[in-house]
């Protein structure tokens, strides 16, 4: 059916209800990533467990990152719709349980359940967008999805602050309930796909080994230097066991009939290089999102709201450039567009690094906005080029691998940047209470993020120069998108 395509991208087109449902689904994850932080003091006052509260974030991120590759493969086998609905259901259940949690350990466990839901929602939503929109339309769609993060960066902290001020922190989780129900209802009514039903041999052993190995390795990266010393027995043990399980996973995958993570994902040059780019994007983003607020609050005594708004400039620049990326890659190709994007992002990081010694809120905000503009032109064409190079039955794995690489980049970025900052804080008698020390530590982190950006340049240069018109979905299986189930 061609009328939907002729109407373009927008809420009023035939695919508009699906786009709204995908934005709602993405919003669940986006808001949750920002709303919890502002409520931590209220949560701790109510249920206790101050020493354990960082696990509210680590458990969520760990469960999300580990499950992404598995959901990607399952969506290629069973279809997108049942997997994203499963993710929304898990997220809904986790949110309800978080809202009634009676202790910090129970809240941490229920946050992990939320993370398992988020691991399905985000990558499958992006995969569905890749299924139902043309190559020319996908950049604009990515702009719509990226705008959800921009809105959430402002709405999330604000809602969290309001709920905390009213003494009802449980509301930050229960607010997800109507959003989950609405997103699920819209997807059930509007998304129809004809998936070829055939018997699949599920790679259970590979899934368990992959989850176990990645879980331990990411856990070691997140908690090393924080919960335990890098050279402690528990740190070494976590990494060793994780590495052993990873080797076992690779051996099992060589014999699996339908491996969870096929070898072709890393053997194809385009897919490998775009995954490396996504890894770099994750590292650069976490460097700014983790340390810009701390930098402004510690160096200039800025309020959390001001620091948050300065950081929000990052997520404002991203959707602006992402929505325009299609105009670039359709004319000059994916690689050239990505090179422009990484050049802009590196320029923003360079400004941030050079001016860190004389902090200024406006300049920090401008630098974050520039970095966001660059990342929008970098992440969008690389993801779309990877999606466009494979048929429908491989697109779920490709999309989830790309997004998993970003999660790994963030996890390792947290570890590296934390080690850099802590080495400076540890050498100062006042630590984080001394503005000069905060400036020095944050400047070092921004410099490390710049190095990550420069390494990402190498990944972009290694991408094959594929033009947009040469990477169409010739092998794609059409997915019907209209309420009556008709094909496009």
Mean pLDDT of 423-447: 79
Helix axes 204-223, 233-255, angle to 10 degrees: 150
Distance CA 139, CA 327 (A): 8
Are the beta carbons of 468 and 334 closer than 8 angstroms? yes
Structural domain 1-193, CATH architecture: Up-down Bundle (1.20)
Q: What tokens appear for 94 in the block? A: 């986790």
Domains 1-193 and 265-471 agree in fold? yes
pLDDT of 178 reads 92
CA distances from 43 to 31, 36, 100, 105, 137 (A): 18, 9, 12, 12, 43
pLDDT digits (tens, 9 = 90+) for 329-359: 888 899 999 999 999 999 999 999 998 888 8
The residue extents of the domains of the chain are 1-193, 201-257, 265-471
Q: What is the pLDDT of residue 351?
A: 93
Q: What is the mean pLDDT of residues 267-272?
A: 90
CA pair distance 246, 209, nearest whole angstrom? 7
Q: Is the per-residue pLDDT at 233 higher than 60? A: yes
DSSP states along 396-465: HHHHHHHHHHHHHHHHHHHHHHHHHHHHHHHTSSSGGGSHHHHHHHHHHHHHHHHHHHHHHHHHHHTS--
Residue 475 pLDDT > 80: no
Q: Region 193-215: what's the mean pLDDT? A: 78
Of 34-48, 133-147, 217-231, 364-378, the range with the highest mean pLDDT is 364-378
Helix (H, G, I), strand (E, B) or coil at 253: helix
H/E element, 474: none
pLDDT, mean of residues 470-476: 43
- C-alpha distances (whole Å) from 158 to each of 35, 241, 304, 308, 372 are 8, 41, 11, 10, 21
- The answer to whether 299 and 435 are in contact (CB under 8 A) is yes
The overall average pLDDT reported for the chain is 83
409: nearest Cα among 142, 65, 152, 143: 65
Tell me the C-alpha to C-alpha distance, in Å, between residue 356 and each of 209, 442, 448: 43, 7, 13
Q: Which fold has domain 265-471?
A: Growth Hormone; Chain: A; (1.20.1250)
* pLDDT-wise least confident of 65-79, 308-322, 439-453, 465-479: 465-479
Q: Which of 3-7, 125-129, 277-281, 354-358 has the lowest mean pLDDT?
A: 3-7
Give pLDDT, residue 314.
83
Collapsing DSSP to helix, strand or coil, 228 comes out as: strand
Distance CA 216, CA 260 (A): 18
Summarised one tens digit per residue, pLDDT across range 150-199 is 788 778 777 877 787 787 889 889 989 999 999 999 999 988 877 666 66
Using alpha carbons, select from 36, 438, 416, 52 the residue that is nearest to residue 222: 416
For residue 303, the surrounding DSSP H or E stretch is none
Residue 435 confidence (pLDDT) = 80
Q: How many CB atoms lie within 10 A of CB 60?
A: 25
Q: Is the pLDDT of residue 478 over 50?
A: no
pLDDT band at residue 449 using 50, 70 and 90 as cut-offs: very high
Residue 45, pLDDT score: 81
DSSP string, 223-286: HBTTTB-TTSHHHHHHHHHHHHHHHHHHHHHHH-SS-SS-THHHHSHHHHHHHHHHHHHHHHHH
- Interaxial angle between packed helices 135-165 and 40-47, expressed in degrees from 0 to 180 and rounded to the nearest 10: 50
In this structure, the number of other CB atoms found within 10 A of the CB of residue 162 comes to 14
Q: Which among 142, 124, 152 is positioned nearest to 376, based on CA atoms?
A: 142
Average pLDDT over residues 233-256: 90
Does 42 or 348 have the greater pLDDT score?
348
- Residue 14 reports pLDDT greater than 90: no
C-alpha to C-alpha distance for 211 and 216, rounded to whole angstroms: 8
Is residue 241 very low, low, confident or very high in pLDDT (cuts 50, 70, 90)?
A: very high
Closest CA to 18 of 150, 194, 141: 141
- Note the Cα 31 to chain centre separation in Å: 12
Average confidence (pLDDT) over 203-207: 82
Q: Can you tell me the mean pLDDT for 88-96?
A: 95
Q: What are the residues facing 228 on neighbouring strands?
A: 224
pTM for the whole structure: 0.80
Tell me the three state secondary structure of residue 224.
strand
pLDDT of residue 482: 38
Give the count of beta carbons closer than 10 Å to the beta carbon of residue 89. Answer: 14
How confident is residue 431, by pLDDT bands cut at 50, 70 and 90? low
**What confidence category does residue 1 fall into, taking pLDDT thresholds of 50, 70 and 90?**
very low
Please say if the pLDDT value at position 361 is more than 80: yes
Q: What are phi and psi of 224, to 5 degrees?
A: -60, 130
DSSP symbol at 169 = T
Q: How confident is the model at residue 304 (pLDDT cuts 50, 70, 90)?
A: low
């Amino acid at each position: 059916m061609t009328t939907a395509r002729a109407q373009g991208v927008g809420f009023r087109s035939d695919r508009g209800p699906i786009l709204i449902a995908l934005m709602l689904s993405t919003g669940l994850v986006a808001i949750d990533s920002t709303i919890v932080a502002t409520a931590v003091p209220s949560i701790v006052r109510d249920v206790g467990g101050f020493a354990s509260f960082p696990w509210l974030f680590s458990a969520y991120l760990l469960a999300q990152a580990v499950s992404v590759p598995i959901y990607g493969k399952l969506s290629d086998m069973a279809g997108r719709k049942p997997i994203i609905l499963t993710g929304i259901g898990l997220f809904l259940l986790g949110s309800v349980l978080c809202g009634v949690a009676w202790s910090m350990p129970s809240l941490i466990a229920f946050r992990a359940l939320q993370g398992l839901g988020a691991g399905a929602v985000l990558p499958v939503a992006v995969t569905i967008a890749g299924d139902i929109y043309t190559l020319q339309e996908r950049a604009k769609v990515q702009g719509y999805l990226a705008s959800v993060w921009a809105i959430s960066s402002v709405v999330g902290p604000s809602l969290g602050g309001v709920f905390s001020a009213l003494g009802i922190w449980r509301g930050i989780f229960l607010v997800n309930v109507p959003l989950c129900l609405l997103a699920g209802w819209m997807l059930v009514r509007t998304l129809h796909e004809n998936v070829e039903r055939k018997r699949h041999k599920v790679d259970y052993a590979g899934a368990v080994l992959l989850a176990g190995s990645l879980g331990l390795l990411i856990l070691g990266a997140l908690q090393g230097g924080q919960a335990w010393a890098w050279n402690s027995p528990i740190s070494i043990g976590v990494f060793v066991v994780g590495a052993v399980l990873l080797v076992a996973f690779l051996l099992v995958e060589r014999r699996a009939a339908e491996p969870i993570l096929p070898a072709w994902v890393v053997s194809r040059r385009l897919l490998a290089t775009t995954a490396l780019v996504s890894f770099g994007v994750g590292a650069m983003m976490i460097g700014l999102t983790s340390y810009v607020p701390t930098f402004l609050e510690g160096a200039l005594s800025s309020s959390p709201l001001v620091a948050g708004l300065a950081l929000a400039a990052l997520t404002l620049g991203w959707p602006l450039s992402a929505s325009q990326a299609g105009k670039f890659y359709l004319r000059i190709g994916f690689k050239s567009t990505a090179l422009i994007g990484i050049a802009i992002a590196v320029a923003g990081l360079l400004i941030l690094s050079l001016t860190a010694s004389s902090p200024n809120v406006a300049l920090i905000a401008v630098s974050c906005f520039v970095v966001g503009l660059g990342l929008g032109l970098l992440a969008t064409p690389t993801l779309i080029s990877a999606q466009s190079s494979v048929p429908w039955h491989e697109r779920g794995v490709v999309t989830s691998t790309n997004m998993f690489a970003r999660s790994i980049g963030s996890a390792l970025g947290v570890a590296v940047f934390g080690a850099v900052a802590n080495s400076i804080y540890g050498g100062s008698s006042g630590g984080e209470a001394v503005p000069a020390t905060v400036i020095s530590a944050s400047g070092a982190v921004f410099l490390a993020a710049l190095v990550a950006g420069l390494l990402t340049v190498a990944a972009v240069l290694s991408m094959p120069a594929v033009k947009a018109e040469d990477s169409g979905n010739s092998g794609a299986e059409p997915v019907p998108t209209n309420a009556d189930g008709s094909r496009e």
